[in-house]
Amino acid sequence: MRIIGLNYGLHDQSIAIIENNEIILSHEMERETRIKKNYIFHKAVNHEIFFSESNRVLYERFLKETKPDDVIAIAGFADTSNSLDTKIHTMINYKKIDLGDTIDSWRNFNNYIIKDKVYHITHHFAHVAYAYFTNPFDEFDVLSYDSTGRWYSAIFLNSEDNVIVDLSYELNLGSLWLFSSWHLRGMEHVDDAGILMGAAAYGEVNLEVYDFLKTFIKKRVIDPMRPGWGSIQGKSQEEKMGVFSDFFTDANKLNKGNDRYKFYFDYCHTLQKVSEETVMELMKPLQKSKNLCTVGGCALNGYINMKLHDLYDEVYTPPACHDAGLSLGVALHANWKLNKNKKIKNKNIAYLGKEYSVTEELVKQLCMNTNN
Ligand SMILES: [Fe+2]
């Protein structure tokens, strides 16, 4: 059975294909469009959802690749209420799956839903699956954490029982970095967590920022997509963020001093320190294995991955641990459940995707750029 995994919609759009237990395609659309992340609201007018360039390219790629008997695997929650999803759903002949307003279906990693040849798991299960079926270990722990992914912000599990430990309240580091990015650099940048992480190396601990960040974590801000939180879909970014207005109100009260660059670097350094402390404190009592997989957008934080070596002998983080890996993750999960394959044929997943040839012309271009 051939499986096509898709991650479409908000950002990091991607496609993956598994055939005969082998990954034959795993491709992120920004490699085609050269538009980083390509959020659907990058060019939105009045916050109206539009069909982004990466979704358009994905749509065309899907039409080219798909065969009539393919199973389509999608991650996350698909909402037919906006035009973007409707267009994609038409493309995959998707019938809305009633997941109910509950996370009870997603308490064990074994769970999935399939209807009309559309296979479905929730967002973090796809993150976990990407690490779960590509790591080199026999048994292992997995930590998946990001900003928002229905129904969780962060989960932990051990491969012996696959029972989900919900860390959404204690470990919403993705939101902390996202809000910090907006606070320091402005919302138009959408998501500059990586830039903040780089800046962390140039600062030192600011105790006032330290207390502020620790207080925010203790407030146990949760995933806004979670049941019980209330629907925020269809609202503007500012309205959504109104939910977290305390963060921005309190952040604006911080004493920035006269040197705004020093404050910026010190804030980033402190954010990194608080993040490392939070992860380590949480993981110590949870640890069941000597091997760990980290995945989800926050797993891009290499300093935390390094720090986790204080607890674990081995730490594995797959290359597209952010949302671009969701398409392959959900396809791997479907390959496990529908085709009964737990380990994939591919020995190395680091070099999947589009191939680039090094031409003499390209080398000349790079040399010219370096000289400039
Ligand atoms: Fe994610």
Residue 164 in any domain: the answer is: no
323, 295: one domain: no
Cα(365) to centroid of ligand 1, in Å? Answer: 35
Which CATH number characterizes residue 45's domain?
A: 3.30.420
Residue 127 · residue 179 · CB < 8 Å: no
70, 179: one domain: no
Q: What is the mean pLDDT of residues 76-91?
A: 56
Start-to-end Cα distance in the chain: 52
Q: What pLDDT is recorded for position 218?
A: 80
Q: What pLDDT is recorded for position 231?
A: 38
Residue 162 in any domain: the answer is: no
Integer Cα distance of 344 and 335 in angstroms: 9
Residue 21 · residue 36 · CB < 8 Å: no
Cα(148) to centroid of ligand 1, in Å? Answer: 6
Question: HSE (CB half, 13 Å, CA atoms) of 56?
Answer: 8
Cα(43) to centroid of ligand 1, in Å? Answer: 22
User: pLDDT by residue (tens digit) across 292-351?
Assistant: 999 999 999 999 999 999 999 999 999 999 999 999 999 999 999 999 999 899 888 888
Q: Which residues pair with 155 in a beta bridge?
A: 144, 166
Is the peptide bond prior to 229 cis by the omega test (within 30 degrees of 0)?
no
> In 3D, which of 346, 347, 354, 292 has the Cα closest to residue 321?
292
Q: What pLDDT is recorded for position 241?
A: 52
Q: E-assigned strands of the chain?
A: 3-7, 14-19, 22-28, 71-75, 113-115, 118-121, 141-149, 152-158, 165-166, 291-295, 314-316
Q: What is the mean pLDDT of residues 199-215?
A: 96
Q: What is the mean pLDDT of residues 2-26?
A: 90
User: To the nearest whole percent, how much of the chain has pLDDT over 70?
Assistant: 79
Q: What pLDDT is recorded for position 84?
A: 52
Q: What is the mean pLDDT of residues 188-211?
A: 90
Q: Which residues pair with 27 in a beta bridge?
A: 15
Lowest mean pLDDT among 49-53, 128-132, 315-319, 366-370: 49-53
Residue 151 in any domain: the answer is: no
Cα torsion through 100, 124, 346, 351, rounded to 10: 130
Q: What pLDDT is recorded for position 41?
A: 54
Which residue's entry shows tokens 């292992």?
140
pLDDT surpasses 50 at 45 = no
Cα(180) to centroid of ligand 1, in Å? Answer: 18
338, 354: one domain: yes
220, 129: one domain: no
295, 328: one domain: no
Higher-scoring residue by pLDDT: 366, 153: 153
Q: What pLDDT is recorded for position 108?
A: 94
pLDDT surpasses 70 at 38 = yes
Average predicted confidence (pLDDT) for the chain = 83
pLDDT surpasses 80 at 288 = yes
Residue 12 · residue 28 · CB < 8 Å: yes
Residue 242 in any domain: the answer is: yes
Question: HSE (CB half, 13 Å, CA atoms) of 111?
Answer: 13
Cα(356) to centroid of ligand 1, in Å? Answer: 27
Cα(238) to centroid of ligand 1, in Å? Answer: 21
177, 311: one domain: yes
Cα(12) to centroid of ligand 1, in Å? Answer: 10
Q: What is the mean pLDDT of residues 115-133?
A: 91
Give the H or E element holding residue 100: none
Cα(70) to centroid of ligand 1, in Å? Answer: 25
Look at the chain and report how many structural domains it folds into: 2
Cα(198) to centroid of ligand 1, in Å? Answer: 21
pLDDT surpasses 50 at 35 = yes
Cα(370) to centroid of ligand 1, in Å? Answer: 35
Residue 122 in any domain: the answer is: yes
Residue 215 in any domain: the answer is: yes
Cα(358) to centroid of ligand 1, in Å? Answer: 32
pLDDT-derived band at 144 (thresholds 50, 70, 90) equals: very high
Q: What is the mean pLDDT of residues 154-183?
A: 91
Integer Cα distance of 254 and 210 in angstroms: 11
Q: What pLDDT is recorded for position 234?
A: 44
User: pLDDT by residue (tens digit) across 215-260?
Assistant: 888 876 554 455 434 334 444 445 445 556 678 889 999 999 999 8
Q: What pLDDT is recorded for position 371?
A: 52
pLDDT surpasses 90 at 104 = no
255, 300: one domain: yes
Which token pair is 73?
């695997």
Q: What is the mean pLDDT of residues 139-147?
A: 95
295, 338: one domain: no
Q: What is the mean pLDDT of residues 64-78?
A: 82
> In 3D, which of 168, 161, 123, 167 has the Cα closest to residue 286?
167
Range of the domain at 277: 173-315
Residue 303 in any domain: the answer is: yes
Residue 33 in any domain: the answer is: yes
pLDDT-derived band at 5 (thresholds 50, 70, 90) equals: very high
Q: What pLDDT is recorded for position 31?
A: 82
7, 129: one domain: yes
pTM: 0.87
109, 220: one domain: no
Cα(259) to centroid of ligand 1, in Å? Answer: 35
Q: What pLDDT is recorded for position 361?
A: 81
Q: What pLDDT is recorded for position 278?
A: 96
Cα(368) to centroid of ligand 1, in Å? Answer: 38
181, 311: one domain: yes
Q: Report residue 22: phi and psi, to 5°.
A: -130, 135
252, 275: one domain: yes
pLDDT-derived band at 199 (thresholds 50, 70, 90) equals: very high
